[in-house]
């Protein structure tokens, strides 16, 4: 399989600017063969402003950016793309827009068959997985399906909290923890693994190899099994055949 994915938990890390914490990984990921990156800004309402943010950042890394919303034919834009980057925002809005623009199947084909590099951050990482069932976002719009692009055979929960299990003792929050919510998801039959990506972490997928990158650990949830912590640099390739 030709797929190359860089699935980032968050686009902005506390104390740094947009994509600063992963810019070296981005440059290495897209390399010198890619000159132009197709940016999908549909997770946010102001697509022009969002595209400008991505365009300005990628220019500092040596890449030109085209906004998918600027293309007269979105499907043709995906067919011509040298690289794809889907940004964060609201996952439901994003997935609905992908279906509305009829690009879900074409993105999957370009990535899995043609080897076009795909980068996602937050919501853009969510839609790369089996479904958006484990997003943190509110369903502000209703996509025709919760099924996503399906570039990997598991789900991801971006922005996973840094603490383990229950909230810190100082917290007075009485709602469910993220771990409890993912456990509720796994109470449903035939639900896939969920990788909790903390802010500062990202998953690099190259063919059938997956590696955890970044500065923070990730937590893996498997239905019917205890959750497991993984350090940066861990080989998570088993998730691709799980």
Q: Digits of tens for pLDDT over the chain (242 positions)?
A: 789 999 999 998 888 899 999 999 999 999 999 999 999 999 999 999 999 999 999 999 999 999 999 999 999 999 999 999 999 999 999 999 999 999 999 999 999 999 999 999 999 999 999 999 999 999 999 999 999 999 999 999 999 997 665 555 566 666 678 999 999 999 999 999 999 999 999 999 999 999 999 999 999 999 999 999 999 999 999 999 96
Domain limits, the chain? 4-241
Beta strands in the chain (DSSP E): 4-8, 36-40, 64-67, 84-86, 118-121, 155-160, 194-198, 201-206, 209-214, 218-221, 228-230
232 and 217 Cβ atoms separated by less than 8 Å: yes
Alpha-carbon distance of 86 to 104, in angstroms, equals: 12
pTM of the model: 0.94
Q: What are all long-range contacts of 163-168, with beta carbons under 8 Å and residues at least 24 apart? A: 164/219, 164/229
Q: Compute φ and ψ for 78, nearest 5 degrees.
A: -65, -40
**CATH code of the region 4-241:** 3.40.50.880
Kind plus residue range of the DSSP H or E element containing 53: helix 47-60
The residues assigned a catalytic role are 122, 137, 159
């Amino acid at each position: 399989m030709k797929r190359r994915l860089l699935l980032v938990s968050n686009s902005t890390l506390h104390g740094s600017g947009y994509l600063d914490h992963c810019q070296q990984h981005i440059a290495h990921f897209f390399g010198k063969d890619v000159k132009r990156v197709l940016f999908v800004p549909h997770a946010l309402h102001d697509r022009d402003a969002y595209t400008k943010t991505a365009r300005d950042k990628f220019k500092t890394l040596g890449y030109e950016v085209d906004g998918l919303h600027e293309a007269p034919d979105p499907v043709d834009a995906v067919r011509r793309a040298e690289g794809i980057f889907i940004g964060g925002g609201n996952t439901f809005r994003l997935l609905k827009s992908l279906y509305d623009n009829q690009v879900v199947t074409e993105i999957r084909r370009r990535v899995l068959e043609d080897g076009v590099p795909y980068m996602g951050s937050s919501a853009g990482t969510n839609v790369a997985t089996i479904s958006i069932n484990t997003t943190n976002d509110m369903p502000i719009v209703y996509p025709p399906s919760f099924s996503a692009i399906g570039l990997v055979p598991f789900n991801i929960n971006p922005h996973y909290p840094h603490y383990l299990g229950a909230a810190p003792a100082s917290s007075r929050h009485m709602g469910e923890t993220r771990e409890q919510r993912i456990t509720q998801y796994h109470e449903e039959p035939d639900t896939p693994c969920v990788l909790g990506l903390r802010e500062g972490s990202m998953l690099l997928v190259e063919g059938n190899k997956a590696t955890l990158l970044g500065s923070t650990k990730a937590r893996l949830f498997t239905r019917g099994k205890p959750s497991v912590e993984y350090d940066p640099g861990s080989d998570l390739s088993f998730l691709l055949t799980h």
